[in-house]
Homo-oligomer: A and B are copies of this chain.
C-alpha cells in the first residue's frame, strides 16, 4: 500500500521550502528571481494520474515536491519506453524546452504526488537574468544526456538478463531499500518498459535470479540479496561508471 501524503499546508513560495536538492530552491532568495519564484503553483496528483501528455503544448516545467513519477515515450502499438523515474526535487517537462513546442514525453505519478509548477515564460526570463541558474540547468541537462546516451549503449549491447539487473540496481541506487526490499515498487511490466523487453522476459529473469539466490521477491516487491554479484555481472559493460 502506498503512503498517502500528509502535507496539509501547501507552500506557495519557495522561501521556506525544505527541499534541499531543488535546482530552483538554491536561488529562492535572489531578488531577481522573486517574480519567478512567486509565480509557482502547487499541484496535487493522485497515484496513477498523468500530468504531462505526450504531444501537448509546452507551457511550463514541473519539479516534484513530494512523490515519484515515471517519464516515458509511447511507441508502436502503444508500447511505452520508460525513460526515467523521478523523485523529490527533480525536474520534469524540461525536455520540451528546446526548439520543441510539444512535450516529447508523458509523465505519470506513481504515488500521490505534489508538484511545483513554473510557467515557461517566467522561467525563461529567470534563466536569461541569472547566468548561474542557466549554467546549473545546463549542467543538469548535460548529466541527463550522459545518462541517456549510456542507456542507449545499455539497451543496445546488454542481454535481457543484464538489462533487468541494471534496472534493479538503478532503482536501488536512486530509491534505496528498507527492510530488505526496494523502496520503489514497480510492476514487472514497468521493469520491462524501462529495460526495453517484455513482461514475461522480466518475470523469467527474476525467477532465475531468485533461484540463484541473488534477489528475493514477495509479490511485486523485489529485494536484493547479493548486490556485489549483481554488480559484477554488468560491471564489464561499465568501463567508465555511469550514474
Contacts and interface: CB of A to CB of B under 8 A. Distances in A.
Interface of A: 54-55, 73-76, 79, 81, 83, 94-95, 97-100, 102, 104-105, 124, 127-132, 134-135, 137-146, 148-153, 155-157, 196, 236-237, 239-240, 242
Contacts of A73: 149-150, 153
Nearest to A94: B142
Contacts of A135: 124, 127-128, 134
Nearest to A195: B156
Contact of A240 (B104, B127, B132, B237): B104
A132 B143 CA distance: 20
A62 B81 CA distance: 32
Given A98-B143, A143-B99, A132 B128 contact: yes
A152 B155 CA distance: 7
Given A98-B139, A105-B149, A128-B132, 4 more contacts: A75-B153, A76-B236, A81-B152, A98-B142
A74 B239 contact: yes
State how many copies of this chain the complex holds: 2
Contact of A131 (B76, B129, B156, B157): B129
A75 B240 CA distance: 10
A104 B242 contact: yes
13 contacts: A74-B239, A76-B237, A83-B149, A95-B149, A97-B138, A98-B143, A100-B143, A102-B240, A104-B146, A104-B149, A127-B135, A129-B131, A148-B152
A149 B155 CA distance: 12
Determine which residue in A54, A135, A145, A146 has the highest number of CB atoms from chain B within 10 A of its CB, and name it. A145
Contacts of A236: 76
Contact of A97 (B132, B142, B155, B196): B142
B146 A98 contact: yes
A151 B152 contact: yes
A240 B54 contact: yes
Contacts of A98: 139-140, 142-143, 146
Contact of A156 (B81, B99, B127): B81
B104 A152 contact: no
B145 A95 contact: yes
A191 to B, nearest CB: 13
